[in-house]
């Protein structure tokens, strides 16, 4: 569910997909257009040969030695088996030089991002695009750079530290072959090339955008949904029931491309505070989402808003929402539909007996929480938008979004 479309006017959005990401790089634009055209033709995962740069990126993606601890790679927090998100139920992953420092947000899936754009405000002022939960990175390459240097993730002290690790990597000769024998002589250049290789791997390897779920097969008229799955899809799309499709688009695009189950916008759901995140032990600490960015600090109306994730492979995820508050898909959906009808299930009780709703936001920003769209347009005592059986039907449908369907 997106934020209300009433934000102030902002600069014209970046409308050309490829040019938005790399500001005019022709190669990037061609790559994105190719991916979109492939999507429009109802893609199926097939055998492929990666370019030398993408193959290099795959090696770097899985290399533990690129971290300060020597025990963490990109794949550690973005495992293929769970749709390239974290393979465990930790609210936030452990990082740091000794792999004992907890992060503050759950790992996002890296799949189906090829058509994502740089962060911008659309014509109606709605924040859209960008990478990370707060959209602060404009490309997959910039996103890849973040964990390499963050002290709570791979924890390299600086770019030079990363480049020294490249020089010792088993694939260093491949790196030189792709980018030139002297590439390691300039730290900034070498670091940038590493992030570009990681980006190219995610763009070229079909597993990141395979469109091989049962639902894709349904859209290709190769199979049909079961009765519970069909009921779940209807509820998913129903504007007064699940209303999920208002942000998690479920229909083909105008050019026939299969849906990504996200519109790349942001929403403020008022997710309860998660005591499993160590940073939350400080009662004055709040993860305020979009307005926590330096360039959006003045936008108090954006505080508490986080990126709408794709729901593809959602049934594989061990945790849900930006703070990993819920551990099962059932818990997450019950929260969606009972947040406002039964708030006592999720939020602490004040001394006067009232419920402290939206407790993971400073009180002045709680008015930003989405309370206007279904299923959030309800009050204590109201009937939830979905009952338990209907929630199970929606889950049955969501399971059809898992990649790798084999017809069974």
Read off the pLDDT of each residue in 203-209 and give the average, rounded to a whole number: 98
Q: Residue 288: inside a domain, yes or no?
A: yes
Q: Which two tokens stand for residue 172?
A: 């260093």
Q: Residue 12: inside a domain, yes or no?
A: no
What would the pLDDT profile of 276-299 be if each residue is shown by its tens digit? Answer: 999 999 999 999 999 999 999 999
**Is residue 230 located within the same domain as residue 199?**
no
**Is residue 172 located within the same domain as residue 37?**
yes
Tally of domains within the chain: 2
The answer to whether 212 touches 401, Cβ cutoff 8 Å, is no
**Is residue 242 located within the same domain as residue 187?**
no
Read off the pLDDT of each residue in 383-395 and give the average, rounded to a whole number: 98
What would the pLDDT profile of 128-138 be if each residue is shown by its tens digit? Answer: 999 999 999 99
Confidence (pLDDT) at 13: 33
The answer to whether 20 touches 14, Cβ cutoff 8 Å, is yes
Of 233 and 42, the structure prediction assigns the larger pLDDT to 233
Q: Which two tokens stand for residue 84?
A: 């390239």
Domain at 340, CATH number: 1.10.760.10
Confidence (pLDDT) at 408: 75
Whole-angstrom Cα distance, residue 397 to residue 101?
Answer: 37
Q: Is the pLDDT of residue 188 over 50?
A: yes
Q: Is the pLDDT of residue 249 over 50?
A: yes
Cβ-Cβ contacts under 8 Å for 256 (sequence gap 6 or more)? 40, 41, 42
Read off the pLDDT of each residue in 341-354 and give the average, rounded to a whole number: 96
Read off the pLDDT of each residue in 192-213 and give the average, rounded to a whole number: 98
Q: Is the pLDDT of residue 127 over 50?
A: yes
Read off the pLDDT of each residue in 198-213 and give the average, rounded to a whole number: 98
Instruction: Report the percent of the chain where pLDDT is more than 90.
Output: 88
Confidence (pLDDT) at 30: 38
**Is residue 280 located within the same domain as residue 306?**
yes
Domain holding 148, by residue range, is 17-209
Q: What are phi and psi of 8, to 5 degrees?
A: -65, 155
Q: Mean pLDDT for the chain?
A: 91
**Is residue 182 located within the same domain as residue 87?**
yes
Vertex 363, ends 122 and 8: CA angle to 5°? 20
Read off the pLDDT of each residue in 343-363 and give the average, rounded to a whole number: 96
Q: What are phi and psi of 164, to 5 degrees?
A: -65, -35
**Is residue 177 located within the same domain as residue 221?**
no
Confidence (pLDDT) at 37: 40
Q: Residue 100: inside a domain, yes or no?
A: yes
Confidence (pLDDT) at 5: 35
Write down which residue in 185, 209, 233 finishes a domain: 209
Whole-angstrom Cα distance, residue 146 to residue 70?
Answer: 17
Task: Give the pLDDT band (50/70/90) at residue 94.
Answer: very high
Task: Give the pLDDT band (50/70/90) at residue 110.
Answer: very high
pTM score, whole prediction: 0.88
Distances (CA, A) of 273 to 86, 113, 132, 246, 311: 20, 28, 20, 25, 22
**Is residue 259 located within the same domain as residue 194?**
no
Q: Residue 114: inside a domain, yes or no?
A: yes
**Is residue 204 located within the same domain as residue 230?**
no
What would the pLDDT profile of 34-76 be if each residue is shown by its tens digit? Answer: 444 444 444 444 557 899 999 999 999 999 999 999 999 999 9
Confidence (pLDDT) at 3: 41
Confidence (pLDDT) at 47: 55
Write down which residue in 169, 184, 209 finishes a domain: 209
Q: What are phi and psi of 101, to 5 degrees?
A: -110, 125
**Is residue 116 located within the same domain as residue 232?**
no
Q: Which two tokens stand for residue 221?
A: 């008229």
Confidence (pLDDT) at 42: 41
**Is residue 329 located within the same domain as residue 346?**
yes
Question: Which sign does the torsion angle of CA 244, 380, 323, 286 carry?
Answer: positive
Task: Give the pLDDT band (50/70/90) at residue 208.
Answer: very high
Q: Residue 7: inside a domain, yes or no?
A: no
Q: What are phi and psi of 27, to 5 degrees?
A: -60, -45
Read off the pLDDT of each residue in 154-160 and give the average, rounded to a whole number: 98
Closest listed residue to residue 154, CA positions, set 117, 195, 113, 119: 195
What would the pLDDT profile of 251-267 be if each residue is shown by its tens digit? Answer: 999 999 999 999 999 99
């Amino acid at each position: 569910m997106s934020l209300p479309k009433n934000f102030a006017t902002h600069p014209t959005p970046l409308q050309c997909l490829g040019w938005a990401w790399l500001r005019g790089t022709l190669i990037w634009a061609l790559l994105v257009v190719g991916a979109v055209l492939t999507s429009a033709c109802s893609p199926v995962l097939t055998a492929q040969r990666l370019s030398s740069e993408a193959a290099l990126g795959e090696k770097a993606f899985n290399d533990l030695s690129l971290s300060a601890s020597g025990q963490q790679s990109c794949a550690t927090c973005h495992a293929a088996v769970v749709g390239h998100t974290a393979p465990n139920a930790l609210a936030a992953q452990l990082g740091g030089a000794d792999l004992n420092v907890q992060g503050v947000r759950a790992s996002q899936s890296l799949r189906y991002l090829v058509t994502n754009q740089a962060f911008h405000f659309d014509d109606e002022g709605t924040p859209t695009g960008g990478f990370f939960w707060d959209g602060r990175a404009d490309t997959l390459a910039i996103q890849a750079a973040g964990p390499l240097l963050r002290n709570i993730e791979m924890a390299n002290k600086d770019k030079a530290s990363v480049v020294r690790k490249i020089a010792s990597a088993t694939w260093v000769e491949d790196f030189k072959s792709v980018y030139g024998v002297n590439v390691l002589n300039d730290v900034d250049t070498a670091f940038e090339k590493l992030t570009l290789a990681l980006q190219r791997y995610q763009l070229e390897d079909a597993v990141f955008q395979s469109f091989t779920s049962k639902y894709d097969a349904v859209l290709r008229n190769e199979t049909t949904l079961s009765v519970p799955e069909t009921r779940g899809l209807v509820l998913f799309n129903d504007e007064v029931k699940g209303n999920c499709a208002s942000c998690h688009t479920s229909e083909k695009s105008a050019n026939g491309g299969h849906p990504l189950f996200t519109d790349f916008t942001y929403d403020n759901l008022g997710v309860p505070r998660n005591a499993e995140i160590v940073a939350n032990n400080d009662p004055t600490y709040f993860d305020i989402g979009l307005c926590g960015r330096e360039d959006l600090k003045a936008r108090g109306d954006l505080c508490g808003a986080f990126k709408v994730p794709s729901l593809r492979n959602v049934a594989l995820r061990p945790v849900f929402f930006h703070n990993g508050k819920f551990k099962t898909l059932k818990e997450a959906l019950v929260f969606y539909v009972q947040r406002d009808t039964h708030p006592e299930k999720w939020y602490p009780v004040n001394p006067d007996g009232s419920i402290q709703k939206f407790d993971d936001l400073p009180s002045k920003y709680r008015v930003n929480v989405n309370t206007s769209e279904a299923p959030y347009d309800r009050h204590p005592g109201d009937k939830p938008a979905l009952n338990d059986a209907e929630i199970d039907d929606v889950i049955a449908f969501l399971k059809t979004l898992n990649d790798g369907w084999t017809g069974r």
